[in-house]
Amino acid sequence: MPRRRVIIVGGVAAGPAAAAEARRTDPEAEIILIEKGSDISYSACEMPLFIAGHIGTDERLVRFDAASFSKRFSVEVRLHSEAIRIDPASRHIDVSHQQSSGTETLWYDALVLATGVRAHVPVALQAASHHVMTLRRLEDARLLRGRIEKDPTGHVVVVGAGYVGLDGVEAFSRAGWRVTLLAPRGRVLPSGLDAGMSDYLYRWLENQGIVIRSERATGLDVSPDGRIRAVRTDVGERIGCDLVLVATGTVPNDELARRAGIACHEAGGISVSDSMQTSVPAVFACGDVVAHTELISGAMHHIPLALNAFRSGRVAGRNAARGGKGRALRMGPVVHAAAVSVGGMEVAHTGWTLEAASAAGMDAVAADVRHRSASSNAPNSLLYVRLVATRKDRRIVGGQLIGQEGAAQRINVLTALIRSGATVEDVYAMDYVYTPRLAPAHDALFVASRQLQKALDVG
């Protein structure tokens, strides 16, 4: 009986997870991993530390190189290879090879698409200049690190104040560069923080020496030799700089799937079932390219996060390799939980902001507190907390924490509570530890839950 062939397209996070799980599921299968770039299985989240020089070499970001991954999991890894066409009817895929400029057609029993996302660059900010960059791939991080090493006292304009923009701010400020952050409408991390919490982070970053301008980039001035001269903004300003980091969001790489007739979400991302099965037989998808079911609303959302990539990769790999035998894996709805460290501050959020919940038609209420991160008898700092709950059933649907310590780990507690359908009373009734040298008598979440109870009772 011929071996089952599983082809996986994409090699950053979800793809390798799918390949490893496929090998565990079927020790005899032929598994081929196709990657367009030169790197696989690396940590994108640690790239800001590498750019700033706090991680010595890029080798520390790579969990497996192609050779070691191939040897460990008996997977054929093909670098510099791009999947360009899928024929679902015949179960064939066309692959172009950059180094030979040739194309080959491969058959598959099961196909896994882990094609990820790419940086979205507005037309006005597209330039051939090597001083206008994005941060998505390990190769981007290498180029940015090299630029900092070449000029340790430059000035960078970061366009966009989301996750990647704040990662850029952290990397360049740590490296000693002057940083100007363009945050349209004066909002920092607008997808995760309500206005008041965003304002606090805005002021904190300004106090750390980051110049923040509530302007939108509308164009670039580039010299004939490719050097960046300035960034133009919507108020008529020209901001002179040595480098521009464009961090204006991401776009799912779902074109390959769309051309093959595979259903995709209207907002972007491949539509999948809880088994990571696409609308086409024998084709699975995972990682940042897919749209997930969001737990609170039950709607499909594009939520590109590392843990979602790993878990969905395992599910896709198992189900692609098992050939209908054995136990299928499933991936349930996800909660949008994330954290970032910038300017010596931990910023974390989970679920829905009050603004987003209200816009989606939820009747929600929020409460804010400022409290200590630890006991007054131990080293501590201020911790800002916002909790969001629905008015009718008092269910917790979101949380935001900002502080120099204690924010990121507390957000995990809130995420678990949201997953369990907890109410504000459940948060209040939790058994928080207290010990004078470590934890406060009244934890910040306990205090915030009491304030939220009062806000709900008033309504």
Amino acid at 298: G
Is residue 324 predicted with pLDDT exceeding 90?
Answer: no
Q: Do domains 121-248 and 347-458 have the same CATH topology?
A: no
Whether the per-residue pLDDT at 289 is higher than 80: the answer is: yes
Residue with tokens 């008092």: 394
**What is the share, in percent, of the chain residues with pLDDT greater than 70?**
99
Mean pLDDT of 116-123: 95
Average pLDDT over residues 234-263: 96
Are the C-beta atoms of residues 396 and 387 closer than 8 Å to each other?
Answer: yes
Per-residue model confidence as pLDDT tens digits over 63-97:
899 999 999 999 999 999 999 999 999 999 999 99
Average pLDDT over residues 44-68: 88
pLDDT band at 268 (very low <50, low <70, confident <90, very high): confident
28-53 mean pLDDT: 91
Q: Where are the domains of the chain?
A: 5-37+79-117+251-321, 121-248, 347-458
The domain covering 5-37+79-117+251-321 belongs, at the CATH homologous superfamily level, to FAD/NAD(P)-binding domain (3.50.50.60)
Q: Could you say which architecture CATH assigns to the domain 121-248?
A: 3-Layer(bba) Sandwich (3.50)
Contact 233, 239 (CB under 8 A): yes
CATH number of the structural domain 347-458: 3.30.390.30
The mean of the pLDDT values for the chain is 94
Q: Cβ(348)–Cβ(339) under 8 Å?
A: yes
Helix 14-25 and helix 306-321, axial crossing angle in degrees, nearest 10: 30
**How far is 230 from 327, CA to CA, in rounded Å?**
57
pLDDT in tens, 442-456: 999 999 999 999 999
Q: What is the mean pLDDT of residues 218-238?
A: 95
pLDDT value at 164 more than 70 = yes
Q: What is the mean pLDDT of residues 322-338?
A: 93
Q: Residue 155 to residues 169, 175, 183, 454: CA-CA distances in angstroms?
A: 11, 11, 17, 47
Residue corresponding to tokens 């360049």: 172
Q: What is the pLDDT of residue 457?
A: 94
Q: What is the reported pLDDT for 251? A: 95
- Hey, is 223 helix, strand or coil? coil
Reported as a pLDDT band with limits 50, 70 and 90, residue 459 is low
- Neighbour order of strands in the sheet with 243-246: 132-133, 243-246, 155-159, 178-182, 211-213
pLDDT band at 59 (very low <50, low <70, confident <90, very high): confident
Mean pLDDT, range 133-157, rounded to an integer: 93
pLDDT at 1 over 70: no
* Residue 203 contacts residue 176 (beta carbons within 8 Å): no
